[in-house]
Structure 1
Amino acid sequence: MRLSDHFYHSELTRSHLAVRHAIANQPAETEICALRQLCIAILEPVRRHFDVPIVPSSGFRCRALNRLLGSADTSSHCRGEAVDFEVMGVSNIKLAHWMAENLHFDQLILEFPDAADGAAGWVHVSFKNRYNRGQCLTRLHSGYEIGLPQFHKPL
């Protein structure tokens, strides 16, 4: 099932962990609608801007899968409102800064970045079909920090 021009239901529900543990990671219609909005508001603009395919590593998670991962039942992933992803060939720090400057979102978390290795970590973003906080965080091994790390644009 196509959710938007470039994204499919299977990409945002696929989980090797769910398969391994025989968990049916299938969203209900409400979550499918949220995934569609997430694709339209977040993933499609990123895809258009960077003009390369995006590989989501985690989208919708049913509660059983989310618990297996040690995450809370209140996670935006359980509502189809969040996705973790990277853009091939683009530093995650650069990606997070572009998103913060150009998109409306609820929460943007740059997870485990490394300035020396732009491919380190990933970006988590959530989008709601209602009030979005526009909150930016950086997750390090020591915990969360408010905001994003400095990004030095080339002159």
Structure 2
Amino acid sequence: MATWLTAHFALEELACTQHREFDNTPPPEVVATLRTTAARMEAVRRALGDRVIAVSSGYRSRALNRAVGGARTSAHLTGHAVDFHCRRFGRALDVCRAIAAAGVAFDQLIEEGDWVHISFDPRMRSQILTRKPDGGYALGLPA
């Protein structure tokens, strides 16, 4: 039985992991944040024509974040970030362009190659980045 945070996003989806050796159960304060994150993901979904979004990563416990090589200050640790794709919409670059054009509020929007990272960290910097093939990130999206 799913614990729905919004019409299209469940708690289990935003806290899932393929790494079964880790307890990735979010604490209550993170569940509250995930509820807000899910509401913001509804805006992302609308920007993508109400197409299904496949979440690959949301909340990450410290142990899980370490295991997957996440940044020590990752917004995934607090439930503010989601990695996803929307194949029925298009490539990650197309998804990022649509989100940016729709005026969805975010902290970071990153085109990661095969997926999109979006963060709703309270700083809400509207920062758009693209992962470079040789590592690191460039500001903006390619033309």
Instruction: Give TM-score scaled by structure 2 length.
Output: 0.90
- Max Rg structure: 1
Q: Secondary structure at the match of 1:108?
A: strand
Shift of 1:141: 2.3
Matched, 1:44 2:46: no
Q: Which blocks of at least 5 consecutive residues in structure 2 are unaligned? A: none
* Alpha-carbon separation, structure 2, partners of 1:38 and 1:98: 19
The CA deviation at 1:48 is 2.7
Q: Which runs of 4+ in 1 moved over 6 A?
A: none
- Count of aligned pairs: 137
Distance 2:133 2:8 in 1: 33
- Between the aligned partners of 1:144 and 1:131, the Cα distance in structure 2 is 19
Q: Which structure 2 residues correspond to residues 6-155 of structure 1 after superposition, within 5 A?
A: 6-17=8-19, 19=20, 22-41=21-40, 43-49=41-47, 50-91=49-90, 92-101=92-101, 102-112=103-113, 121-128=114-121, 130-142=122-134, 143-150=136-143
The root-mean-square deviation of aligned C-alpha atoms, in Å, is 1.2
Equivalent-residue separation in structure 2 for 1:127 and 1:76 (angstroms)? 8
Q: How far apart in 2 are the matches of 1:104 and 1:88?
A: 22
Calculate percent identity across the aligned residue pairs. 41
Distance across 2 between alignment mates of 1:54 and 1:35: 16
Distance 1:23 1:95 in 2: 30
Q: In structure 2, what is the equivalent of residue 153 of structure 1? A: none
5+ unaligned residues in a row in structure 1: which ranges? 113-120, 151-155
